[in-house]
Amino acid sequence: MRKLVALLPILASTAYAQCVMCFRTAAAQNSARANVMNLGIIILVIPPVLILVGFMVLAYKRRKTYADAEPVTEREAYLAPTL
């Protein structure tokens, strides 16, 4: 666990460098190309957001699936018919 914490600043600096690259590229372009780049960024963000929302909806719908189940004793598990 400590090794992962030690690697965190390295990973964070790499992610920050990518943002600077995008910022510099967008700043060097004219406004029409900057608008196209902004649209591209939005398009690339949509699928991960939809996947995350899907998982959250699924977790919300199934939040009580196992909460209300009664514990099964060993005897009941042994006597239960198997298919």
pLDDT tens per residue across span 10-28: 666 555 556 677 777 777 8
Dist CA 10 CA 42 (whole Å): 27
- The verdict on residue 81 lying in a domain is no
pTM for this model (two decimals): 0.49
- The verdict on residue 72 lying in a domain is no
- DSSP structure string for 28-79: TS-HHHHHHHHHHHHHHHHHHHHHHHHHHHHHHHTTTTTTSPPPPPHHHHHH
Q: How many domains does the chain have?
A: 1
Q: Which domain holds residue 6?
A: 2-63
Tokens of 28: 């060097």
> Which of 6-10, 19-23, 33-37, 64-68 is least confident?
6-10
- The verdict on residue 20 lying in a domain is yes
- The verdict on residue 82 lying in a domain is no
Structure confidence at residue 5 (pLDDT): 67
Q: Read off the pLDDT of each residue in 42-50 and give the average, rounded to a whole number.
A: 92
pLDDT, averaged across the chain: 76
- The verdict on residue 70 lying in a domain is no
Dist CA 71 CA 63 (whole Å): 17
- The verdict on residue 58 lying in a domain is yes
